[in-house]
Every structure is written in C-alpha cells, then in structure tokens.
Amino acid sequence: MRYLLSLCAMLILATSAEADDFHLLELNTFSMDYAKIASNRDGYYPYDDPGTEYYDTETWDYAVAVNFDLEMAAYRGVRLHWQNRVEGASTDTQFRMVTWDFRWGLQLGDRVEAFFDHTSSHILDEVPEEPSSYGLKNVYGVEITFYRKQ
C-alpha cells in the first residue's frame, strides 16, 4: 500500500511541477568492472579455512561487476536515488560468489542525505546450516557533507 501511495505522490508532483523542476527515473551512471582478484578471504568459504579438507585446493581468479546510479525522482533540492553494485567472483575452477551492495538515498539539499545501505555475500554452491550464515549488513542513517570541492 505504501508503494502505491508513494507512486501516487510522485505522479501528483509530476503533474504539478514544471518540467525543469521534476525528474523521474534518470540513469546517472552505468558501468561494468572486470578485475583479477589479488586476495579474498571469506569465513563461509571452505576453501579459505585451514580446518577443512578443501583448504587451498582452489584459488580466487576473476571478478565481474555491474554498477549503476539511478535517480528515482528529483524535485528541486530533493533527490531519491539508488546506487547499486552486483559483483560475481570466480575461482580457477568455477563461478563461486555473488556480492550485492546498494544504497537507497534521500538527498535533502546539498549537504544532508538519509540513507539505507545493504551488503550481502552469497556463496553459490554451499548450503549454510542456518539461514543467517551468509554475510549480511543492513544500515540506515544520515550523512552530512561538511565540504565538497566545486
């Protein structure tokens, strides 16, 4: 229900705002990374654990990532945006891990942003003993910018 109300509010703003004041769904950046993994340690990955029979039988090899910054809506000094990064990593044997990082931000003017950050890591071929065994971090807060070079 709240998503429907949010959509209605954006539509009302869109119809009442001047064209230069309101922006909806604008892609600011889109990029892809391809990288050689120099080192990677993960407590949930058995090939990095000296106590397992798998230790040191595989080495991390390459990673690929997709990144974008999408402006969901903007009206004058207020901006709702979504910064996203999905990265996959492989060993010399197979594709093993996916990491997802994103930030939902509500920019209020030039200096204040309320945000929600999410980071999660997923080993693709291992089944955790508990649902919470994968790396997961969710954070919300406020960022205040004291200096920005013009």
Element (H, E) at 10: helix 2-16
Summarised one tens digit per residue, pLDDT across range 60-116 is 789 999 999 999 999 888 999 999 999 998 888 888 888 999 999 999 988 999 999
How would residue 6 be classed by pLDDT, with cut points 50, 70 and 90?
A: low
Please give the Cα distance from 89 to 15 (Å, whole number).
Answer: 44
Q: Identify whether 15 is part of a domain.
A: no
Domain that holds residue 114: 21-144
Q: Identify whether 7 is part of a domain.
A: no
How would residue 38 be classed by pLDDT, with cut points 50, 70 and 90?
A: confident
Please give the Cα distance from 66 to 84 (Å, whole number).
Answer: 8
Q: Identify whether 14 is part of a domain.
A: no
Element (H, E) at 8: helix 2-16
Please give the Cα distance from 9 to 17 (Å, whole number).
Answer: 12
Q: Identify whether 149 is part of a domain.
A: no
Pick from 5-14, 19-28, 137-146 the range whose average pLDDT is largest: 137-146
> Would you state the pLDDT for residue 25?
87
Q: Identify whether 102 is part of a domain.
A: yes
Mean pLDDT calculated for residue range 49-59: 67
Please give the Cα distance from 42 to 49 (Å, whole number).
Answer: 9
Q: How many domains does the chain fold into? A: 1
CA atoms within 13 A on the CB side of 121: 13
Instruction: Pick the range with the lowest mean pLDDT from 44-53, 129-138, 139-148.
Output: 44-53
Q: Identify whether 32 is part of a domain.
A: yes
Q: Identify whether 150 is part of a domain.
A: no
Residue 125, sorted as left (phi over 0), alpha (psi -120 to 50) or beta, turns out to be alpha
Mean pLDDT calculated for residue range 25-33: 92
> Would you state the pLDDT for residue 84?
95
Q: Identify whether 29 is part of a domain.
A: yes
